[in-house]
Amino acid sequence: MSRPDDGAALGVYLAIDTRRASPRPRAGLVGGTARAFVHGAVRIFRAIPAAAALAVGISLVPERAEARGTFFLLELSTGIAEPAYDSGEIGLTYGLSAGMTWKFTKFPPRFHLLLSTSAKSARSSGTVDGLRFNAEHHAIEVYVAHRIAMPMWGPMRIYGEVGLGERFITSAIRREADLGRLSSSSAELLVVLAAGLQFRLTEGFSLGLRAEMTPLDRDLDLISATSRHPLTNNRGSLQAQLGIHF
């Protein structure tokens, strides 16, 4: 009597075992993320500190990104930001970072020292005491940041970043009933926490996705005092990035 082919039997066994071991799709997580994005719930990025801690932990991974090391980075970013006020609209953000990068031999993480600036704009409207108002909020942020990037696999890297600087704010509100336009400007301390994913297309170029949060509480300003709409604290943003490495 002939024995069944061992290779065919092994193939059948592996097919059955693969079906049993296949994890169920995480539809809830994907759906929840999509709903949060559609409704502008950028507050999910308040988990950034945990992501940054995870990024530091990944430094123990021995693998390296395929792109060779470079010494300088110029990075452009654009994306969306949480409303500046609780009743406001999703805002836009633009950013530019430049600085130097370095790493130690046989130590996977790459370190960055960056000078960054970003601009955020947002609008808000509503009614107070029966009078309609329209408000605009613009912020320029300038800060120095330290970033640690860890290779994951191939050209992929994950990074955590912390920055310290200053935010310059200009706000204006226009009210009905000939009450006119009010405007103000101010400056405040800025702390930035961020985590991101970077994909090195070539040695000189990369694409990335960045989640950012500014955790400090903000003082009452002209618009929040006049419109009675509280400021959004721990304001988050989601940005796409283009990096130039040289």
Taking the CA atoms of 190, 224, 240 and 35 in sequence, report the sign of the dihedral they define. positive
Which pLDDT score, from 0 to 100, does residue 217 have?
73
- 26 within some domain: no
48 against 88, higher pLDDT = 88
d(C-alpha 95, C-alpha 89), whole Å:
20
- 134 within some domain: yes
* E strand spans, 4-90: 72-81
**193, 54 contact by CB (below 8 A):** no
Q: What is the pLDDT of residues 158-196, one digit of tens each?
A: 999 999 999 999 988 888 777 778 888 889 999 999 999
Is the predicted pLDDT of residue 122 greater than 60, yes or no?
yes
**28, 163 contact by CB (below 8 A):** no
Is the predicted pLDDT of residue 65 greater than 70, yes or no?
no
Partners of 112 in beta bridges: 101, 147
- How much is the mean pLDDT over the chain? 76
CA angle 145, 185, 177 (to 5 degrees): 140
- 209 within some domain: yes
Amino acid at residue number 151: P
Give the CATH number of the domain where residue 116 resides.
2.40.160.20
- 151 within some domain: yes
**Could you list the residue range(s) of the whole structural domain that residue 106 is in?**
46-245
Is the predicted pLDDT of residue 84 greater than 90, yes or no?
no
Is the predicted pLDDT of residue 197 greater than 60, yes or no?
yes
Which pLDDT score, from 0 to 100, does residue 24 have?
41
d(C-alpha 170, C-alpha 84), whole Å:
12
The whole-number average pLDDT for the span 69-76 is 91
At residue 36 the predicted structure's pLDDT band, cuts being 50, 70 and 90, is very low
**193, 145 contact by CB (below 8 A):** no
- 175 within some domain: yes
d(C-alpha 34, C-alpha 91), whole Å:
18
Is the predicted pLDDT of residue 74 greater than 60, yes or no?
yes
The whole-number average pLDDT for the span 118-130 is 85
Task: Give the rounded percent of residues in the chain with a pLDDT score beyond 90.
Answer: 42
At residue 83 the predicted structure's pLDDT band, cuts being 50, 70 and 90, is confident
Is the predicted pLDDT of residue 134 greater than 70, yes or no?
yes
3-state secondary structure of 67: coil
- 3 within some domain: no
Which pLDDT score, from 0 to 100, does residue 137 have?
86
54 against 145, higher pLDDT = 145
At residue 219 the predicted structure's pLDDT band, cuts being 50, 70 and 90, is low
Task: Give the rounded percent of residues in the chain with a pLDDT score beyond 70.
Answer: 71
Q: What's the total number of domains in the chain? A: 1
115 against 20, higher pLDDT = 115
41 against 178, higher pLDDT = 178
CA atoms within 13 A on the CB side of 245: 21
Is the predicted pLDDT of residue 207 greater than 70, yes or no?
yes
Amino acid at residue number 21: A
Which pLDDT score, from 0 to 100, does residue 68 have?
56
- 14 within some domain: no
- 23 within some domain: no
Burial class (CB in 10 A: 0-12, 13-18, 19+), 43: middle
